[in-house]
Structure 1
Amino acid sequence: MLYPELFKSMEAVRWNMGTDIPWGDYDASKLSDEQAYTVKMNAITEWAALPATEMFLRDNRGDSDFSAFMSVWFFEEQKHSLVLMEYLRRFRPDLAPTEEELHKVRFEFDPAPALETLMLHFCGEIRLNHWYRCAADWHTEPVIQAIYKTIAHDEARHAGAYLRYMKRALTTQGIELAQQARMAFSKIGVLMASAHRSPQAMHPTNLHVNKEMFPNDTIQSKLPSPGWLENWLDNQIRFDKEWEGKVSSRILHNLSLLMENSFNTVQDLNRYRKSLMRGEAVGA
């Protein structure tokens, strides 16, 4: 089981909201209304770990190890929402999310293949790590800068944990499941590493998850300002091609190690995916 080891490693580096955030460094002159509003949107978006956890537990009912790890992931993701809300409660209470605004992002996701969802969230954690690092550079108020850097580190650790479960699928659960995993990981990897070609932000909270509610079936569509994410990325924190390239590089690098192949470009990964579809034996 991976859960006991992952719990211990994450417990060892867990930060304290009361003592590890430099609340006393707050400088009101360095926080604009525009910046503060984006904190609210991210606080609500992070709250979506609640329906995501419900999805993971439902779709991984046969995997108690991974389901147990969700207790750690869920706690830390909800803590991200909480620390952003605490920042607003202390310094911009007029922008603190209401319970109704938070509850709107809790809706049911359609069932999906567990391996594809695992890969999607692995990529999502990498992307979120880079988004938050970029956001910390954009903000000018020291406390929110520290918060974004802190939660960015958590997202990187979460990606590492998901990667452990991806490796488990390739090495310990039989040839058939390993082949299914390679197909799932390469398919989603091509999608998530090609975000520069898509007009929408490629993150789990911005993807459609409920056919009956379409097109209002993304987390972002449930926010008070449904179009805020693209504006935040393109016009505020300016998550440009250079940043996007860093995300793609991390995805490709990790998949190269995981599947014992060399994926320097998305095209390399796509060729690998097509070889799997043809039934060729690829990788270890």
Structure 2
Amino acid sequence: MLYAKLFRELEQARWSMHTDIPWESFDASLLTEEQAQTIKMNAITEWSALPATEMFLRDNQHDSDFSAFMSIWFYEEQKHSLVLMEYLRRFRPDLLPTEEELHAVRFPFDPAPPLETLMLHFCGELRLTRWYKCASQWHTEPVIKQIYETISTDEARHGGAYLKYMKRAIDKTGDEARRAFAKIGVLMTSVSRAGKPLHPTNLHVNKALFPNDTVQSRLPDPGWLEEWLTKQIHFDKVWEKRVIKMILHNLSQLFGKTFTTALELNAYRKSLAVSTAAAV
């Protein structure tokens, strides 16, 4: 089982909200109203780890190892929401999310294929790692800069954990897993086609609730994410290329191939489909 090893690794890397965040360094003159509002939106977005965990547990009842790992992932993701809310509680209590605002992002996700969902969240962790690093550079107040650096490192570790489960899936199911991972990999590295950076929180996940079935659509400001990325932290093409490069690098290692573009990955995906059809 991977769970026991991952528990030890993540336990050793775990940080304390009370001793590892330099609360005493807060400088009110360096926190703008615009920046403070974005902290609230991210605190609510991180709270959506709750319905995501419910989805993972429902769709992975066959996999006790991965389901047990969710105990770690859920704890650390909710801690991200909590540390952002603690920042607001201390320094901008007027912006602290209400229980109703938090509960709004807890809604049921439709069942989805577990392998595709695993790959989607792996890519989401890589993207969040870069989003938070970029946000840390945009902020000017030292405490929130440190918070974003800290949770960015967590997201990178979570991506590494998901990758271990992806390797295990290939060992168990071979091309079935490769097809699922390549399919989502093409989607997540073809940003120009999608028209926006894709992340689990801005994808539609419940047909019955459409169009209000993305996490972002249920925030107090549904258009916040795009504004935050493009006009505030300026997550530009240079940053996005880093995300795509990291996804392709990891898939190259996972598949024993070399992918430098989404087109190369898509060609590999098609070759898997052809080989499967021929085998049938």
Range class of TM-score, shorter chain: over 0.9
Matched AA of 1:55: M
Deviation of residue 92 (structure 1)?
A: 0.3
Deviation of residue 280 (structure 1)?
A: 6.2
* Within-5 A mapping of 1:1-284: 1-171=1-171, 173=172, 177-279=173-275
The superposition leaves residues 6-38 of structure 1 with CA deviations (integer Å, 9 ceiling, x where unpaired) of 000000010000000000110000000000000
Quick one: distance in 2 between partners of 1:186 and 1:148?
Answer: 30
Matched AA of 1:113: P
Provide the aligned C-alpha RMSD in A: 0.9
Quick one: distance in 2 between partners of 1:167 and 1:161?
Answer: 10
The superposition leaves residues 93-133 of structure 1 with CA deviations (integer Å, 9 ceiling, x where unpaired) of 00000000000000000000000000000000000000000
- Alignment partner of 1:279: what SS? helix
Matched AA of 2:272: L
State the TM-score, normalized to the length of structure 2.
0.98
Q: Is the 8 A contact 1:42 1:81 kept in 2?
A: yes
Q: Is the 8 A contact 1:49 1:77 kept in 2?
A: yes
Quick one: distance in 2 between partners of 1:130 and 1:196?
Answer: 18
Q: Is the 8 A contact 1:40 1:88 kept in 2?
A: yes
Matched AA of 2:237: K
* Moved segments of 4+, more than 6 Å: none
Deviation of residue 196 (structure 1)?
A: 3.7
State the TM-score, normalized to the length of structure 1.
0.96
Deviation of residue 200 (structure 1)?
A: 2.9
Matched AA of 1:197: R
Deviation of residue 195 (structure 1)?
A: 1.8
Q: Is the 8 A contact 1:232 1:238 kept in 2?
A: yes
Quick one: distance in 2 between partners of 1:197 and 1:22?
Answer: 42
Deviation of residue 240 (structure 1)?
A: 0.3
What number of residue pairs does the alignment pair up?
277
Quick one: distance in 1 between partners of 2:92 and 2:61?
Answer: 41
Percent identity, aligned pairs only?
69
Deviation of residue 198 (structure 1)?
A: 2.4
Q: Is the 8 A contact 1:130 1:243 kept in 2?
A: yes
Matched AA of 1:164: K
Matched AA of 2:107: F
Q: Is the 8 A contact 1:25 1:143 kept in 2?
A: yes
Quick one: distance in 1 between partners of 2:192 and 2:240?
Answer: 7
Quick one: distance in 2 between partners of 1:110 and 1:211?
Answer: 7
Quick one: distance in 2 between partners of 1:68 and 1:196?
Answer: 36
Matched AA of 2:90: R
| Structure 1 spans left out of the alignment, 5+ residues | none
- Alignment partner of 1:17: what SS? coil
Matched AA of 1:160: G
- Alignment partner of 1:200: what SS? coil
